[in-house]
Amino acid sequence: MSDTTIGEILSISLLSLRVSVTAVALSSALGLVLGALVASREFRGRNVLVTVINTLMGTPPVLLGLLLYLLLSRSGPLGWMGILFTPEAMILAQFLLTLPITTGLTVTAVESLPRDVRELISSLRASRVYEALLLLNEARLNLIGAVLTALGRAVSEVGAVIIVGGNIRYQTRVLTTAIVYYTSAGEFDTAIALGAILAVIYLAVNTVIVLLKLRVSRSVA
């Protein structure tokens, strides 16, 4: 398997998980609340906002990566942060990539709640944030799927992270960028091994989500 060691493969896998899980945790924390607030209120421009959110859900990763690169480069407005070609830049890229997904799917999940449930929560006259939290609790079964979708997008993403991360060995090389690198280098055995690890990780995530859905559905019943 070329000169790639088991330790390096483990390091690549752990970095992939750290970047993706951190990004999705942040985007979910913000996106779920924003989505619930948008879905629970009528305001001028709401339909336009929802359209924009849904459009951003399909943002090409390479485009996002290019924009972030221009912003984070030394000559860019955010160059002072000095995070280009670091895991932090990769987390930022995946956060921005998955935020519209968690927000948009949350809007759909909350809007799909029975009308009487939404009206009951609205009649409580609670603060907007507390009302949003109540709506999220009622829609929690569908929200698990929203978070899973965002995590799947993050784990499998390569375009943005390779641009802002640089695919630097031992520093910013994750599973997807490593697969691209070893494939282009003709080291197919290593690329296949890394692909298998990526598939196992995604299978494990799906298994956990299915178990959570079953537990939540039983509690609801």
Establish if 10 belongs to a structural domain. yes
Query: What's the pLDDT score for residue 168?
Result: 92
Query: What's the pLDDT score for residue 23?
Result: 97
Q: Is 80 exceeded by the pLDDT of residue 5?
A: no
When comparing pLDDT for 77 and 202, which is higher? 77
H or E stretch including 19?
helix 6-40
Range of the structural domain that residue 201 is part of:
6-220
Give the residue carrying structure tokens 């879905």.
Answer: 39
The answer to whether the beta carbons of residues 85 and 165 sit under 8 Å apart is yes
Alpha-carbon distance 9 to 194, whole Å?
Answer: 7
pLDDT in tens, 165-202: 999 988 999 999 999 999 998 889 889 999 999 999 88
Alpha-carbon distance 1 to 108, whole Å?
Answer: 46
Establish if 69 belongs to a structural domain. yes
Domains held by the chain: number:
1
pTM: 0.90
Neighbour-count burial of 31, counting CB atoms closer than 10 A to its CB (0-12 exposed, 13-18 middle, 19+ buried): buried
Q: Is 90 exceeded by the pLDDT of residue 120?
A: no
The CATH number for 184's domain is 1.10.3720.10
State the pLDDT confidence band at 103, using cuts at 50, 70 and 90: very high
Establish if 1 belongs to a structural domain. no
Give the residue carrying structure tokens 């829609």.
Answer: 139
Query: What's the pLDDT score for residue 68?
Result: 96
State the pLDDT confidence band at 123, using cuts at 50, 70 and 90: confident
The answer to whether the beta carbons of residues 180 and 156 sit under 8 Å apart is no
State the pLDDT confidence band at 124, using cuts at 50, 70 and 90: confident
Establish if 188 belongs to a structural domain. yes
Q: Is 70 exceeded by the pLDDT of residue 1?
A: no
Establish if 187 belongs to a structural domain. yes
Establish if 124 belongs to a structural domain. yes
